[in-house]
Amino acid sequence: MEKKAPENGEFSFASNTPRSTGRKGLPKIQTQDHNKKANDVCHDDSGTPVKAKTIDELHSLQRKKSAPTTPIKGTQGAFTALSEEERHKQQLQSISASLASLTRETGPKLVKGDPARKGEGQQIAHHHHITPTLSASDSALKFTHILYNLSPAELYEQAIKYEKGSFITSTGALATLSGAKTGRSPRDKRVVRDETTEEDLWWGKGSPNIEMDEHTFMVNRERAVDYLNSLEKVFVNDQFLNWDPEHRIKVRIVSARAYHSLFMHNMCIRPTLEELEDFGTPDFTIYNAGQFPCNRYTHYMTSSTSIDINLARKEMVILGTQYAGEMKKGLFGVMHYLMPKRQILSLHSGCNMGKDGDVALFFGLSGTGKTTLSTDHNRYLIGDDEHCWSENGVSNIEGGCYAKCIDLSREKEPDIWNAIKFGTVLENVVFDEHTREVDYIDKSVTENTRAAYPIEYIPNAKIPCVGPHPKNVILLACDAFGVLPPVSKLSLAQTMYHFISGYTALVAGTEDGIKEPQATFSACFGAAFIMMHPTKYAAMLAEKMQKHGATGWLVNTGWSGGSYGSGNRIKLAYTRRIIDAIHSGCLLNAKYKKTEVFGLEIPTEIEGVPSEILDPVNTWSDENAYKDTQLKLAGLFKKNFEVFANYKIGKDSMLKEEILAAGPNY
Ligand SMILES: Nc1ncnc2c1ncn2[C@@H]1O[C@H](COP(=O)(O)OP(=O)(O)OP(=O)(O)O)[C@@H](O)[C@H]1O
Ligand SMILES: O=C([O-])CC(=O)C(=O)O
Ligand SMILES: [Ca+2]
Ligand SMILES: [Mn+2]
């Protein structure tokens, strides 16, 4: 840029435009003067000027192109000849095929990259799009931009720019809203019933699989795909499930929100660049059109929300709910089908490992402590929610954790607290408008506030997330009746009885004073996600526990000293000491006594836990009230188990009698 020497000691703009020299009035301003000694005049920078002529050019200097995707496995490979462009084209073709409407000829025209960055050196080159052929809709006349496996930083920008309710919190997490739904909608889940699934899956009373036919699935699929293709841009994630390399599943998630893409980035296993190059065709695809409702006039629909699984097509469609957990748990359902077919047990459990390689599984319904207790500073975290148990040992299905945040405290759950940082999705929390500090106590949006973070945000995560066969199987129940002991050692039959029962008791809305605890029984501690009959999973668990000599435990993380309203929730610190004693092996050989009614073996002492709380009868001020409540709960257990009484569990029919006998007796 041309520099003008000062004429009279005044400052002047260095400018290409006609000089202001000679104009009277305003003083001339100059910012740089190379002819004078630097310290003669006041100026704000002495460096060389930037190599840009325009602001746009300047901005383009900020962004370095990502390192070229890994040069493909050296020189010996047969298919190494693919150019970067060819690879790119194949990728877009694969995505176009995913998004193809089945009533039209082709997939949509796709372009990689953010439409807002057109002309900024982005890859919008026309030779990358797929040439359209005959098309029956105007959507064929437009491009759909594909935001493919964006990084967390890019997704933050997309969310903040385009999604209302997205904010950066004081610790760097992305606070977001999931819309009208802040939890899953199990009653809106549908599974296509065809010849195969008719035989394989669990249908009817108690089953989570509500049927739909293939045609209706296609109606909803078309609705979702049309909605997604009508958008200017969609997000595509190509990722993996299951850390066991032999049984890894490739999943593709097509979604309309950066929130959904970041959530799945965190929750699924993130591919390396090499793995992404060779990704190929996914094993399962999710079409998340959650902002768009299903059509209530469609057969089988009972609301404007529908979550549809078609195992034959390997597809899932989401309409009418933006709650991201639907994607996570939808895929979990798929794993509950695919894995047992390979003799691998899929489990709704957390999992961690001690320094000596002792593995523990933590089963339990929502809110019972899987995430809280598997995240243990003294142990390696394998995973917090979904696992497989195969001949090779255990493996996490996911690449991230999904922690409940209500009443989260730095003191009680430091590792989870510290994981809520840049990259973490924070759903439906309330924060200070100015400081952006999150108020974890606030339930204004929902009680089900959640944080989704990559597992490596937990400092002692075990990566890869696999481990040897479990030594302890811990069944968690949050018993709001306050009658189950804080810990009991279970026989194998008792473990099966409680695993099939899947008990917890929570307290529904607490607005108008004290409410009765609500008992929930959910087979395998996850009836909402299993696909086959519960006894199928139970038999596999029994067989594996027996074979590998695992011990079962029942831990009450709920009430002590009375039911909800009079007693209190057992202190997390005590539960942690109990869990420590299980891990260390101390509890295996402790002194035990047997409780009445439930017939549970309870220890008389545990280090760090007041002995009097170990037998709940001691903690109730009214012993009769305790006995009545215990009988009441036992009755609920019995009633729930009736439907299973006629099922044989595994090949051993002896086991059936034993399991029945392992329930409450009174
Ligand atoms: N004694 C206790 N043991 C375990 N958790 C406790 C205890 N007391 C209070 N809590 C709280 O209970 C909640 C347990 O939730 P957690 O996220 O671990 O559930 P989860 O089993 O992982 O459920 P989901 O499958 O829905 O993720 C946490 O908010 C935790 O702080
Ligand atoms: O799926 C969800 O929304 C949360 C969860 O882990 C569960 O409910 O088990
Ligand atoms: Ca959890
Ligand atoms: Mn869960």
Q: Measured between alpha carbons, how far is 12 from 191 in angstroms, rounded to an integer?
A: 74
- Mean residue pLDDT of the chain comes to 88
Q: Is 221 a known active-site residue?
A: no
CA-nearest residue for atom 27, ligand 1, is 366
The yes-or-no verdict on residue 559 having pLDDT over 80 is: yes
The yes-or-no verdict on residue 160 having pLDDT over 70 is: yes
Q: Measured between alpha carbons, how far is 570 from 183 in angstroms, rounded to an integer?
A: 26
Atom nearest to 374 CA in ligand 1: 18
pLDDT at 283: 98
> What 3-state DSSP class applies to 105?
coil
Q: When comparing pLDDT for 21 and 103, which is higher?
A: 103
Structure tokens at 303: 């609301």
Which of 384, 607, 637 has its CA nearest to residue 505?
637
Q: Tell me the pLDDT tens digit for each residue of 385-432.
A: 999 999 999 999 999 999 999 999 999 999 999 999 999 999 999 999
Q: How far is the CA of 149 from the centre of ligand 2 (A)?
A: 24
Q: How far is the CA of 385 from the centre of ligand 4 (A)?
A: 5
Radius of gyration over every alpha carbon of the chain, rounded to an integer in angstroms: 30
pLDDT at 101: 80
Q: When comparing pLDDT for 69 and 245, which is higher?
A: 245
- Residue 551: phi and psi, rounded to 5, are -105, 135
* 330 CB-contact burial (10 Å; exposed 0-12 / middle 13-18 / buried 19+): buried
Which of 438, 364, 368 has its CA nearest to residue 407?
438
pLDDT band at 122 (very low <50, low <70, confident <90, very high): very low
pLDDT at 15: 42
Average pLDDT over residues 446-459: 97
Structure tokens at 115: 């439409």
Q: Measured between alpha carbons, how far is 93 from 600 in angstroms, rounded to an integer?
A: 59
* 179 CB-contact burial (10 Å; exposed 0-12 / middle 13-18 / buried 19+): middle
pLDDT at 76: 44
Pocket (CB within 6 angstroms of ligand 2): 183-184, 325, 328-329, 366, 385, 402
> What 3-state DSSP class applies to 460?
coil
Q: Is 59 a known active-site residue?
A: no
pLDDT band at 88 (very low <50, low <70, confident <90, very high): confident
pLDDT band at 156 (very low <50, low <70, confident <90, very high): very high
The closest ligand to the CA of 613 turns out to be 1
> What 3-state DSSP class applies to 607?
coil
Helix, strand, coil % (nearest 5) of the chain?
A: 30, 20, 50
Q: When comparing pLDDT for 647 and 554, which is higher?
A: 554
Which of 561, 195, 41, 540 has its CA nearest to residue 339?
540
pLDDT band at 139 (very low <50, low <70, confident <90, very high): low
CA-nearest residue for atom 4, ligand 2, is 325
Atom nearest to 402 CA in ligand 1: 27
Q: Measured between alpha carbons, how far is 149 from 69 in angstroms, rounded to an integer?
A: 13
pLDDT at 418: 98
Q: Tell me the pLDDT tens digit for each residue of 523-537.
A: 999 999 999 999 999
**Of the ranges 38-52, 116-130, 247-261, 613-627, which one carries the lowest mean pLDDT score?**
116-130
* DSSP class per residue in 111-148: EES-GGGTTTT-S--GGGSPPP-S-SSGGGGSEEEEEE
DSSP, res 171:
T
The yes-or-no verdict on residue 138 having pLDDT over 70 is: no
Would strands 315-319 and 345-353 be described as parallel, antiparallel, or unpaired?
A: unpaired
- Residue 508: phi and psi, rounded to 5, are -70, 180
**Of the ranges 29-38, 81-90, 558-567, 640-649, which one carries the lowest mean pLDDT score?**
29-38
The yes-or-no verdict on residue 607 having pLDDT over 90 is: yes
Q: Is 404 a known active-site residue?
A: no
Structure tokens at 251: 């999943």
- Residue 553: phi and psi, rounded to 5, are -135, 145
Those residues with Cβ within 8 angstroms of residue 631's Cβ, 6 or more apart along the chain or in another chain: 597, 666
- E runs forming strands in 433-495: 438-439, 450-454, 466-467, 470-477, 487-490
Q: When comparing pLDDT for 471 and 8, which is higher?
A: 471
DSSP, res 660:
H
pLDDT band at 140 (very low <50, low <70, confident <90, very high): low
The ipTM (two decimal places) reads 0.98
pLDDT band at 481 (very low <50, low <70, confident <90, very high): very high
pLDDT at 28: 58
Average pLDDT over residues 639-647: 86
Atom nearest to 328 CA in ligand 2: 1
Average pLDDT over residues 601-621: 97
The yes-or-no verdict on residue 568 having pLDDT over 70 is: yes
pLDDT band at 189 (very low <50, low <70, confident <90, very high): very high
User: How far is the CA of 348 from the CAs of 20, 75, 189, 396, 489, in angstroms?
Assistant: 75, 44, 18, 11, 21
CA-nearest residue for atom 3, ligand 2, is 325
DSSP, res 4:
-
| Identity of the amino acid at 555 | V
Average pLDDT over residues 30-36: 50
The yes-or-no verdict on residue 300 having pLDDT over 60 is: yes
The yes-or-no verdict on residue 13 having pLDDT over 90 is: no
